Amino acid sequence: MTFKQSAHPLLLIPGSIEVADNVLEANGSPSMSHTHQPFIGIFQSALQNLRKLFKSTDHKAQAFVISGSGTLGWDIVASNLIKPKEDALVLSTGFFSDRFADALTTYGVNTDVIRADLGDYVSYEEIEKALGRKKYKIITITHVDTSTAVLSNVEEISKIVKKVSPETLIVVDGVCSVAVEDIEFDKWGIDYVLTASQKAIGVPPGLSISFISGRALDVALNRDVDTTYFASLKRWDIIMKAYESGKGAYFATPSVQLINALKVSLENILCKPLDERFKLHIENSDWFKGELEKLGLKLVSKKHAGCHALTAAYFPEGVTGANLFPLTSKRNVVFAGGVHKDIATKYFRVGHMGVSVVDRDDTKVALEAIKESLLELSVKS
Amino acid sequence: MTFKQSAHPLLLIPGSIEVADNVLEANGSPSMSHTHQPFIGIFQSALQNLRKLFKSTDHKAQAFVISGSGTLGWDIVASNLIKPKEDALVLSTGFFSDRFADALTTYGVNTDVIRADLGDYVSYEEIEKALGRKKYKIITITHVDTSTAVLSNVEEISKIVKKVSPETLIVVDGVCSVAVEDIEFDKWGIDYVLTASQKAIGVPPGLSISFISGRALDVALNRDVDTTYFASLKRWDIIMKAYESGKGAYFATPSVQLINALKVSLENILCKPLDERFKLHIENSDWFKGELEKLGLKLVSKKHAGCHALTAAYFPEGVTGANLFPLTSKRNVVFAGGVHKDIATKYFRVGHMGVSVVDRDDTKVALEAIKESLLELSVKS
């Protein structure tokens, strides 16, 4: 830990997460030409390492890194993998799944949503029934919905899709799951994972990162109607392939410093076995959720449906964001409020991803801040 | 000049440009919550200062800062200010103007292009005639086309539009002009300027920055058909207004560090009078272009049409990128090759914007590197 981390408030929201010093340093690196070395080598390394992060060895699959927010990933899906009037099945486990449906609808896609009970994942029976009733072009799974901390089982759902409707493209919103939860891209037969830089990948916000299967890429490249310019995978595919093979290319100026930061963060992540990383996140999350329950807090996600990237917990009686957060802030820890419309003011969220879990004991700091603040509140009242 | 700038190759391409140390430092700052202080104040400052950069006091106008490349600005125009089947008039002064037309066409816009002679701007007579023949929803002006170094006179063209077709929205691609060339947004009656962070604004790449008039914003907000989700000004307008008034809001996670860098760079820019900045760029550009001509190099932009952000010059007889650039690289200066399809291999481009002009003598370094390299080549041959 060097020059940067001194005395800034510990950010334990479910993204942006805390960023390692060498990643921040890469993000502060001087200007480089986007079509020359050393940047070509940097981008090449990032694209190659993304394959490892998704455990993919299929050479037809391709990583895409495009300047933008995680949200841009929804536009990419809506404007590359499916056309207006085609059908999409959205599995909704919260606010972010619903917004994915909004984005699809904006592009004229017919969107059916199966909504899980609050805190639960979508029932496999309902998925199977829906897939049997209609031929869907895509199914979308929000791997971890950041509004509820619900984890969907991508492997199980993929099995159902492969059985009932194998042509349906399996699209995973991995914004809050990639680099926390295991994703076996090839093995599970996933077609598209979208994510962003600022969650467990551990880079400042500003990159839309995705990984696409060969068959989904075929759909994008052979599309006859273009409904986007900037988010067109047709235009980006040759660029990504050029950089990954060690050549510069140009469609739009890439975010040079953020990609440099991505390269460094992927190296940080991949220097240890991925499965150990996932295990650490599971153990840490289980421990933290258990500790909050010992304090009497009720979790938003049901026991069998909890993710490992964050914890969403209801405030205890008499506690609100307005009285709790000033006390946790005083202890120099920043948490997030709720975003699920049904319960927005009734719960809060604690992120536990990346360096906070792998290299530091930030979740313990979070627990102490919550304990002390609740105690202070109870003494006051 | 502190920790960062040591010994990196001097980047004098027409974007990304060299970035000031305090801006790099801001870009390397630790994570902050995007919906809390201090980030709210940072974003507020950036949005307020963008008004000053565009010399606008019209409270109906609004700045937008969205994660993405400069290219995203074309999608914003194509999906917010004009609808499929409506008419756009594109003034083309090179490769980037033509690509703006491509982007509009992708969204189903009927696009008429008036193409200037290579190195020249579009004739005012032709513009007037075209505007008289058809009612265009928008006219696009590429203020500086980075492929040719041609400057279009936005003030004069705006006068023609106001005279012949006052309802036509005036859209300026200011990617390579904002913070180099004067833009009097209110006074000239401009409706939309799109730009990016990595040119004269002096921030690493990754932000699409734009400024919109009240009447153009009305068009975007009252649009009945949505053709984009991420690039929708309807969705972003409330977010920008919230941050500018000192409140957090959420549509997609903003690029926190890049916006912090933008805030610092705008402060750097605005601590001196803007007109002095523009004058410095003009004097420096005139001097550099003159020096290249003294060396016998022919410029791509005609004398009356030259911009002040970059110089595009033909290689002298016997010189190519392949033999010149290794020699300039040896002198630790990076230039850019050509991108205009008719002459791509025949010329090169030197950027002279921002700190390189205002705070340093980088253009002199560029000239020396070119002189010495040409001499070395002539001795060799």
Contact between B28 and A25 using a beta-carbon 8 Å cutoff: yes
Spell out the residues 6+ positions from residue A42 whose beta carbon is closer than 8 angstroms to its own: A32, A259, A260, A263
Contact between B29 and A32 using a beta-carbon 8 Å cutoff: no
Q: Residue A241 is encoded by which pair of tokens?
A: 């392939």
**Given a cut of 80, is residue B380 above it in pLDDT?**
no
**Per-residue confidence (pLDDT) for residue B379, from 0 to 100:** 83
Nearest CA in chain B to A325: B36
Instruction: Write the residue in B228, B250, B255 that is nearest to A205 by C-beta.
Output: B255
Spell out the residues 6+ positions from residue B189 whose beta carbon is closer than 8 angstroms to its own: B158, B161, B162, B170, B213
Neighbour count for residue B214 (Cβ, 10 Å)? 12
pLDDT in tens, B120-156: 999 999 999 999 999 999 999 999 999 999 999 999 9
**Per-residue confidence (pLDDT) for residue B3, from 0 to 100:** 40
pLDDT in tens, B199-214: 999 999 999 999 999 9
Give CA B81 to chain center in angstroms: 19
**Per-residue confidence (pLDDT) for residue A281, from 0 to 100:** 98
Nearest CA in chain B to A257: B204
- Mean pLDDT, rounded, of chain B: 96
The secondary structure of chain A in percent helix, strand, coil, rounded to multiples of 5, reads 45, 15, 40
The conformation of residue B316, written as its DSSP 8-state character, comes to P
Confidence of residue A165 (pLDDT cuts 50, 70, 90): very high
- Mean pLDDT, rounded, of chain A: 96
**Given a cut of 50, is residue A3 above it in pLDDT?**
no
Per CB-CB distance under 8 Å, the chain A contacts of B340 are none
Per CB-CB distance under 8 Å, the chain B contacts of A29 are 4, 24
Contact between B107 and A229 using a beta-carbon 8 Å cutoff: yes
**Per-residue confidence (pLDDT) for residue B4, from 0 to 100:** 47
Per CB-CB distance under 8 Å, the chain B contacts of A231 are 75, 230
The conformation of residue B82, written as its DSSP 8-state character, comes to S
Instruction: Write the residue in B5, B33, B334 that is nearest to A13 by C-beta.
Output: B33
Assess contact for B81 and B192: CB atoms under 8 A.
yes
Mean pLDDT, rounded, for A319-327: 96
Is omega for the bond preceding B166 within 30 degrees of 0, making it cis?
no
Assess contact for A228 and B227: CB atoms under 8 A.
no
Give CA B2 to chain center in angstroms: 28
pLDDT in tens, A80-105: 999 999 999 999 999 999 999 999 99
Tell me how close the Cα of B225 comes to any Cα of chain A, in angstroms. 9
Per CB-CB distance under 8 Å, the chain B contacts of A68 are 67-68, 72, 230
Count the residues in chain B.
381
B76 backbone dihedrals φ, ψ, rounded to 5°: -60, -45
pLDDT in tens, A219-245: 999 999 899 999 999 999 999 999 999
Closest CA to B41 of B256, B297, B338: B256
Distances (CA, A) of B375 to B222, B328, B380: 61, 11, 9
Q: b/e per residue, B115-131, with b = 16+ CB within 10 A?
A: ebebbebbeeeebbebb
Alpha-carbon gap, residue A8 to B248, rounded angstroms: 19
Tell me how close the Cα of A41 comes to any Cα of chain B, in angstroms. 16
Q: Residue B270 is encoded by which pair of tokens?
A: 């605005």
**Per-residue confidence (pLDDT) for residue A4, from 0 to 100:** 47
Alpha-carbon gap, residue B343 to B122, rounded angstroms: 19
Q: Residue A203 is encoded by which pair of tokens?
A: 């880079």
**Given a cut of 80, is residue A380 above it in pLDDT?**
no
pLDDT in tens, A116-143: 999 999 999 999 999 999 999 999 999 9
Pick among B253, B256, B356 to test the A interface (most A CBs inside 10 A): B253
Residue ranges and CATH numbers for the domains of chain A are 10-18+273-380 (3.90.1150.10), 21-270 (3.40.640.10)
Closest CA to B235 of A199, A146, A102, A145: A102
**Per-residue confidence (pLDDT) for residue A6, from 0 to 100:** 53
Q: Residue A110 is encoded by which pair of tokens?
A: 């017919």
pLDDT in tens, B36-58: 999 999 999 999 999 999 999 99
Query: Which residues are A92's β-sheet partners?
Result: A115
SS (H, E, C) B112-165: EEEECCCCCCCCHHHHHHHHHHCCCCEEEEECEECCCCEECCHHHHHHHHHHHC
Contact between B28 and A69 using a beta-carbon 8 Å cutoff: no
Q: Residue A161 is encoded by which pair of tokens?
A: 């899709």
Alpha-carbon gap, residue B225 to B232, rounded angstroms: 11
Nearest CA in chain B to A253: B69
Confidence of residue A379 (pLDDT cuts 50, 70, 90): confident
Contact between B69 and A8 using a beta-carbon 8 Å cutoff: no
Confidence of residue A361 (pLDDT cuts 50, 70, 90): very high
Contact between A31 and B25 using a beta-carbon 8 Å cutoff: no
Alpha-carbon gap, residue B43 to B34, rounded angstroms: 9
Give B36-59 as a DSSP string.
STTHHHHHHHHHHHHHHHTT---T
Per CB-CB distance under 8 Å, the chain B contacts of A198 are 253, 256
**Per-residue confidence (pLDDT) for residue B1, from 0 to 100:** 33
First-residue to last-residue Cα distance in chain B: 40
Tell me how close the Cα of B103 comes to any Cα of chain A, in angstroms. 6
Give CA B118 to chain center in angstroms: 20
Contact between A16 and B27 using a beta-carbon 8 Å cutoff: no
Helix (H) or strand (E) holding A141: strand A138-142
Contact between B103 and A229 using a beta-carbon 8 Å cutoff: yes
Tell me how close the Cα of B55 comes to any Cα of chain A, in angstroms. 27
Nearest CA in chain A to B20: A30
Alpha-carbon gap, residue B125 to B43, rounded angstroms: 43
Percentage of chain A modeled with pLDDT above 70:
98
Whole-number CA gyration radius for chain A: 21
Tell me how close the Cα of A69 comes to any Cα of chain B, in angstroms. 6
Contact between B106 and A17 using a beta-carbon 8 Å cutoff: no
**Given a cut of 80, is residue A320 above it in pLDDT?**
yes
The conformation of residue A352, written as its DSSP 8-state character, comes to -
Percentage of chain B modeled with pLDDT above 90:
97
Alpha-carbon gap, residue A105 to A108, rounded angstroms: 5
> What ipTM was reported for this prediction?
0.97
Q: b/e per residue, A131-150, with b = 16+ CB within 10 A?
A: beeeebbbbbbbbbbbbbbb
The conformation of residue A123, written as its DSSP 8-state character, comes to P
Edge-first strand order for the sheet with B169-173 is B62-67, B207-212, B192-196, B169-173, B138-142, B87-92, B110-115
pLDDT in tens, A263-279: 999 999 999 999 999 99
Assess contact for B13 and B336: CB atoms under 8 A.
yes
